[in-house]
Structure 1
Amino acid sequence: MKLEHIQEPRLLFAKGEHICPRRGISAYGVFDQSQTTRRKDIYIGGIGSNNCLELLDKWFELCRSVIDAPEGAKQTNLKLPFCGFNSKSGFGSELHFSGDLSRSIRNVDIEDIIKIQRRTERIEAAIALYFENIKFLAQNRHVDVIVCVIPEQLYKAISTDAGAEEESLDVGGGYEELNFRRALKAKSMMLGKPLQLIRAVSLDSTKSGQQDAATKAWNFCTALYYKSGPTIPWKLEQAPSKATSCAVGIAFYRSRDRQTLNTSLAQIFDELGNGLILRGTPVEISKNDRTPRLSANQAYDLLTAALNEYRVALRTFPARVVIHKTSNFTEEEIAGLTSAASDLRIDTVDFVTVMDSKLRLFRNGNYPPLRGTFAQLDRTKSLLYSRGSVWYYQTYPGLYIPQPIELRIVRSEESPSYIAKEILGLTKMNWNNTQFDGKYPVTLGCARKVGEIMKYLKDTDTPQIRYGFYM
């Protein structure tokens, strides 16, 4: 076994580089500050009760200025002050929110929904209420992102007892998943405005048990900035000697009734970090191990469509494509993907399976192995701790014992160490979280969330290709 530690991948910002998104934005500004396509004025629509909208307005006012780190924080690099969201700070943009850009929901309408006996009917009524107001703002106001604030009493009424907001709906003797957040985002997708859903309690600083305001502002404002699009808060550092490449994640999701329909999903991230979402066709499930698999034709069509979207965005094809999957590649899949790359004259195609591992490594002392610990077991199998103790944070920022991911290299022109470093970098490309120790590469971690919403779209619906609509 070969053991090494991979250094934390660096991120590029407007005027410098750093390993930490928060420190990089504060010191050097978001990556795309010099690009003319980005928005310097971001208009936010808001939906909620009058009390919710007041909380949202106060929250935006707070976010426009510096927010101090919590008092007594021991790990100063983990608990950084928020730089403020304004034209003179690292974001280089202004947030605009006002009564003209908001829609108030009457308390009596919320109370009527809460009184509905069946939980599924309450969820459907809440979706209809919020969608009506989303549609008005999208069609009649100049907004870039719409924030839906959920009052706590309504949240409790439409969430499950387990707190996952999920419920089964009886349909002809079967059951279908019904989830407020997923269904609302899917239903609103055709309106072309990304949504940000947030509980009112998260905006109320007087409530106990809340995340500190600075950390909350970092995550909330970065997500809004990315969703306002086309914007890139940061970019992965690329070796100048390496050819252009892109990463493609292939995942599968079940239909809402969880019966026979499994649909392939490709999520492609170009070298700028742009996520492009594509929906494939229904796939067969192996009777032996219940694993969904693509046919050669499906694999060919999926990668061809993904790379054509890349070409439209960057006006060229990449020299290299690395394909991530959470299950083993079949010969048919490899043949179809290879054939598509060959027809488009892609020079190199790498195939890597990324999955959880039951193996563990131990480190002297009380802390888990460092993030970036890499153990090459043999020529094709390796372990990577994408979560673990972080030297920069001077602690392990998780709650549970970290589990490494297993990398199975089916075919690659690059070394196992390079593949691991690439995947470690892709764990930092999730703009929903500015803490940089994500477990899965964005190609797979976010693809799962995309599938959660994609299952609510009809076959005749056209999915948005920008990742901001699924966050």
Structure 2
Amino acid sequence: MNTVVNKIKPLELNRPKLSAQYFDEPKLLFADNREHSDPKIGIALYGPRSLGTSRHKQEVHIGFIGTGEGMTAARKFYSDLTDGVAGDTGQISFPGCKADRGFRCELRMDDNLFEAITRKETIEILGITNQKERFERFLGVLQTKLELLTQRDYPLDYIVFVPPNDLFKKCRVADYRVQKIPIHRDLRRAFKALAMKFHKPTQILQETTIGLVDSRRQLDHLSRIAWNLFTGLYFKVEGLPWSPVGLTPGTCFIGISFFRPLGSASTLRSSVVQAFDENGEGLVLRGPTFHWNSYQEERSPHLSEEMAHELLQMVLDRYRSERRQLPRRVVIHKSSRFEPEERSGFEKALCASGVEQYDLVSLRISNDVRLIRAGQYPPLRGASFNVGDISYLYTTGYIPEIGGYPHGHVPSPLQVADHIGDASDAQIKQEILLLTKMNFNSADFAGSMPIDLRFSRLVGNILREIPAEQSPQPKYKYYM
């Protein structure tokens, strides 16, 4: 018997086109238009960007909230840091902060700007067993301290809150239910939301950081702590530590993310927008609230066409109000893909507004595809590659400028997807690299995400604490 064999032609797939490119490390601008790629070296050598301008404060007046011992220790901690801190292997020395060094300003820390949390108040708060009541009582005490401190007839630029360690342990978080809805609250977020009503930037400094209480965890090197504290301080008092080199003038970068309002049903979401100009200065805006059931729909929320249009129009109106003109170009960064309705809403708002150019870009960290580099070091930060139509960029990796890889884990590239707009792929990636260096909450060389996306998420955590009827402060310094 003859056997018939069916021969099936093997399936042939087109080979994906592979390409790779490397982008040089972006530069930053400091005083007198001097350039350097490392924020710490640039500040130490040249001084901050706004030195010599009306934004630079010669003196910064600091107020304190805490126990008497905590405030005294915190003042000494700041005072010691102003003289400078020696570095170590992998840690650049902090040059100090005086008229002739570092951020080129003097700190003023007067006894008249001390507002004490008394032992009586501490005992009363610790005696409350209910988490919600204890947390809210502590916030009530802090509100009183903020009121008293900001009403003093003394100049005040900046408030340092040193929570007593025993209170911090008991009130750091609170978990409870209201009408069966679980609520999680965080002291830092709640304090930031509370303090912005008084129009003063703040810093929370734990007693473990200043050495008043032993810490169970390994603290960062003192020079790194100093760099982060003083970089944040300088920006919060309206200074500009550095600015980017190479961003197109008149460009507005917008990061969009979502959060669930405090005490709301699990299906409710609000959007938050971080808009940054070409100098890296940000605005915070709370967008419309909408329903999204992640069990019935996709896990990542998306906006309807109408809401996307409304949200972007709100951003452009606020930008025009602050800058007296519209941006020439808008770049929207989002961590999830752009749905067709969402994209349509954004594009219609942009086309109707008079903005000349725009780009929509979806960014997410990808663990699916990586480059393997010959040798013992990971891929270079700035390495980029394309697999077919999908583009990737390493924002972390080996950094030749510092001779090492500071992140301590296998780097994953950003996947750059859904790009629709006017700029080239190369321009989009160069801008992303620059925006990873614009975090004024630290002086680190660079982060993994562009600043507009990174902080739209973090800001959302603080916006949860702000009631819907209260307008949040638009300046980013209140959320740091």
TM-score (structure 1 length as normaliser):
0.92
Match of 1:11 among 21, 28, 52: 28
1:308-340 CA distance string (max 9 Å, x none): 332233332222111001111122222222222
**1:104 lines up with 2:113 in the alignment:** no
User: What is aligned with 1:178?
Assistant: 185
User: What is aligned with 1:163?
Assistant: none
Match of 1:373 among 383, 406, 427: 383
User: What is aligned with 1:143?
Assistant: 156
C-alpha separation between the residues in 1 aligned to 2:168 and 2:378?
36
Match of 2:305 among 277, 283, 296: 296
Gaps of 5+ in 1: 160-165
**1:32 lines up with 2:50 in the alignment:** yes
Offset at residue 274 of structure 1 (A): 1.0
Offset at residue 401 of structure 1 (A): 2.4
Match of 1:121 among 120, 128, 133: 133
Offset at residue 199 of structure 1 (A): 0.6
C-alpha separation between the residues in 2 aligned to 1:284 and 1:175?
18
C-alpha separation between the residues in 2 aligned to 1:456 and 1:357?
32
Q: Evaluate the alpha carbon distance shift between residue 82 and residue 128 of structure 1 in structure 2; reply closer, same or farther with a 3 A threshold.
A: same
Indicate conservation of the 8 Å contact 1:151/1:201, yes or no: no
Q: Please tell me the residue identity of whatever aligns with 2:372.
A: F
Q: Evaluate the alpha carbon distance shift between residue 18 and residue 438 of structure 1 in structure 2; reply closer, same or farther with a 3 A threshold.
A: same
Q: Evaluate the alpha carbon distance shift between residue 207 and residue 173 of structure 1 in structure 2; reply closer, same or farther with a 3 A threshold.
A: closer
Name the SS of the counterpart of 2:312 in structure 1.
helix
C-alpha separation between the residues in 1 aligned to 2:253 and 2:236?
21
Match of 1:53 among 64, 71, 81: 71
User: What is aligned with 2:3?
Assistant: none
User: What is aligned with 1:90?
Assistant: 102
Moved more, 335-344 or 92-101: 335-344
Match of 1:261 among 264, 268, 278: 268
Q: Evaluate the alpha carbon distance shift between residue 153 and residue 174 of structure 1 in structure 2; reply closer, same or farther with a 3 A threshold.
A: same
Q: Please tell me the residue identity of whatever aligns with 2:24.
A: Q
C-alpha separation between the residues in 2 aligned to 1:395 and 1:157?
40
C-alpha separation between the residues in 1 aligned to 2:398 and 2:174?
37
1:377-436 CA distance string (max 9 Å, x none): 233x21222122222222221233222221114302222222111111101111111112
**1:155 lines up with 2:162 in the alignment:** no
1:116-167 CA distance string (max 9 Å, x none): 32333332222222221112112324311111012222222223xxxxxx33
Q: Please tell me the residue identity of whatever aligns with 2:123.
A: E
Offset at residue 63 of structure 1 (A): 2.2
1:238-280 CA distance string (max 9 Å, x none): 26xx453120111111122461220111110011211001111
Name the SS of the counterpart of 1:233 in structure 2.
coil
Name the SS of the counterpart of 1:32 in structure 2.
coil
Indicate conservation of the 8 Å contact 2:94/2:227, yes or no: yes
Moved more, 31-40 or 9-18: 31-40
Q: Please tell me the residue identity of whatever aligns with 2:450.
A: P
Q: Evaluate the alpha carbon distance shift between residue 104 and residue 416 of structure 1 in structure 2; reply closer, same or farther with a 3 A threshold.
A: same
Indicate conservation of the 8 Å contact 1:67/1:82, yes or no: yes
User: What is aligned with 2:14?
Assistant: none
**1:424 lines up with 2:424 in the alignment:** no
Offset at residue 25 of structure 1 (A): 0.8
Q: Please tell me the residue identity of whatever aligns with 1:4.
A: Q
Indicate conservation of the 8 Å contact 1:283/1:293, yes or no: no
Moved more, 331-340 or 345-354: 331-340
Moved more, 52-61 or 119-128: 119-128
Indicate conservation of the 8 Å contact 1:138/1:192, yes or no: no
Offset at residue 203 of structure 1 (A): 1.3
C-alpha separation between the residues in 1 aligned to 2:440 and 2:337?
28
Offset at residue 205 of structure 1 (A): 8.1
User: What is aligned with 2:256?
Assistant: 250
Gaps of 5+ in 2: 1-17
C-alpha separation between the residues in 1 aligned to 2:47 and 2:250?
25
Q: Please tell me the residue identity of whatever aligns with 2:105.
A: S
Indicate conservation of the 8 Å contact 2:382/2:393, yes or no: yes
C-alpha separation between the residues in 1 aligned to 2:205 and 2:175?
23
Q: Please tell me the residue identity of whatever aligns with 2:243.
A: K
**Equivalences for 1:64-83 in 2 at 5 Å?**
64-70=82-88, 73=89, 75=90, 79-83=91-95
User: What is aligned with 1:162?
Assistant: none
User: What is aligned with 2:392?
Assistant: 383
**1:2 lines up with 2:19 in the alignment:** yes
Q: Evaluate the alpha carbon distance shift between residue 362 and residue 236 of structure 1 in structure 2; reply closer, same or farther with a 3 A threshold.
A: same
Q: Please tell me the residue identity of whatever aligns with 2:371.
A: L
Q: How many residues are aligned here?
A: 455
Match of 2:242 among 210, 234, 253: 234
